[in-house]
Amino acid sequence: MLRTVVTGPLWWLVMLLTLVVARPDSLSDKEKLDTTGTLCNGHALLCDKPFNLITLPATHASHAVRKDENSIGTQDKDIQTQLSDGIRGFTLDIHPAPSSTSTPQLCFLSCDINDGGSLADTLTIFHDFLNDNVNDIIVIVVSNPGGVSASNIAKAFTSVGLDKFAYTDGPDLGDWPTASDIISTDKRLVVFGDKSVGTLPSWMLNKETITQYTKLVVPSTDAWPMSRENWKDGKIPFFITYHVRWVNATVDGKTMAVPYGGMAAHTNDWDLVSHTVKVRNNNFVWPSLIVADFYDQGQLIDTALRFNSLPVPGDQVDYYYPDNMSTKSLLTSSASSLSALTASGWLSLAIAALFLCSYDVFRI
């Protein structure tokens, strides 16, 4: 009788702690919680974060889809698929269209090597996505290696009506508004132009003054450099980590640097995790975008989720608790053995609960 009185409240505490400890195993409950509130890029937890402190997975030369493994490109899936897979950052390389030099075309290295179609066609995909997904924000970084006029680039955006989504509130280096602030104004396209674009339209943000970034492309033989380009001391920028490895290859009898497709599975696995965490720790910056080639290989999307403290599909308690044997035995214990927990058992349960509550593997 006395035993029931004592173990009653204890039992509820155990249930509560067990639920918290088991959090990665109950992702569907977590997601249910999320979907009852307002979502920002698919997650309620992102709504109150300043936009530059959210990590978005991004693709490098997003349009440069390879025909096969022997052709040159940076991706194996098209932009529509990238959007449905959760990619929210895109980088575009503009060249003059082969048919008309004033028409901006998305090509990689040159339009002979990889022609991704007209800029306007791709911008239509982004426009339709923003129309259909009213709580999603996307980022586009525009580069203009082919030297098309800035006004023709701007025209491609306005012709599909994308400029009306462009975020123009001119954040300088420093804190950005939160994701929900941006969503509430419907300015859900953050578009940067780099110095090759020329005179930017009023609704295109200047990549060179607002962002900082790592080296764009690193040879396969080099270590990842930790320095950042465009350093502005003491500022918290919109920060872009490029995680892109290239290799010298012979193409039509000429040696040139190309994306290292054969290494992508390795490059985008723990190498990506370790590079992005090191850049973050060495520079005291938060990665706003992580940009990769061949995004569908390796851990790009999961790494962005982890930076955002969001649950990663398939994760288990094992990965987060240093002594998984005892966690496992606790989780599978019956009610009677739970009520017989020792003080140290309680302590490790509480520590596990705290650890999993923060679920924040990269910030500790």
Ligand X SMILES: *[C@@H]1O[C@H](CO)[C@@H](O)[C@H](O)[C@H]1NC(C)=O
Angle, CA 120 vertex, CA 115 and CA 122 arms, to 5°: 65
Pairing of strands 89-96, 56-59: parallel
The tokens for 335 are 């009610």
223 contributes a contact to ligand X by CB under 6 A: no
Give the count of residues interacting with ligand X (CB under 6 A). 10
Any bridge partners for residue 218, and if so which?
A: 245
Answer for which of 102, 131, 185, 220 binds ligand X (CB under 6 A) is 220
Sheet with 218-219, strands from edge to edge, namely 218-219, 245-251, 254-259
Nearer residue to ligand X within complex by CB, 90 or 320? 320
134 contributes a contact to ligand X by CB under 6 A: no
Nearer residue to ligand X within complex by CB, 231 or 319? 319
User: Which x/- pattern, by CB under 6 A, does the window 176-215 give for ligand X?
Assistant: ----------------------------------------
Answer for which of 129, 203, 246, 294 binds ligand X (CB under 6 A) is 246
Question: Minimum distance from CB of 310 to ligand X (Å)?
Answer: 20
Nearer residue to ligand X within complex by CB, 82 or 327? 327
DSSP state letter for 268: T
309 contributes a contact to ligand X by CB under 6 A: no
In order of 222, 267, 272, 283, 334, the CA distances from 215 in angstroms are: 12, 16, 14, 14, 54
Q: How many Cβ atoms from other residues are within 10 Å of residue 249's Cβ?
A: 15
Q: SS3 of 315, please? A: coil
Closest-CA residue to 149 (of 193, 192, 182): 193
Nearest residue to ligand X on Cβ basis = 219
Contact segment (CB under 6 A) with ligand X among 102-110, 152-160, 243-251, 277-285 equals: 243-251
Question: Minimum distance from CB of 326 to ligand X (Å)?
Answer: 9
219 contributes a contact to ligand X by CB under 6 A: yes
Nearer residue to ligand X within complex by CB, 71 or 248? 248
247 contributes a contact to ligand X by CB under 6 A: yes
318 contributes a contact to ligand X by CB under 6 A: yes
Q: Segment 322-341, which members bind ligand X (CB under 6 A)?
A: 324-325
Nearer residue to ligand X within complex by CB, 220 or 281? 220
Report the alpha-carbon distance of residue 239 to residue 259 in Å, rounded: 22
Question: Minimum distance from CB of 220 to ligand X (Å)?
Answer: 6
Q: SS3 of 153, please? A: helix
Backbone φ and ψ of 141, nearest 5°: -110, 120
Q: How many Cβ atoms from other residues are within 10 Å of residue 152's Cβ?
A: 17
Residues that bind ligand X (CB under 6 A): 219-220, 246-248, 257, 318-319, 324-325
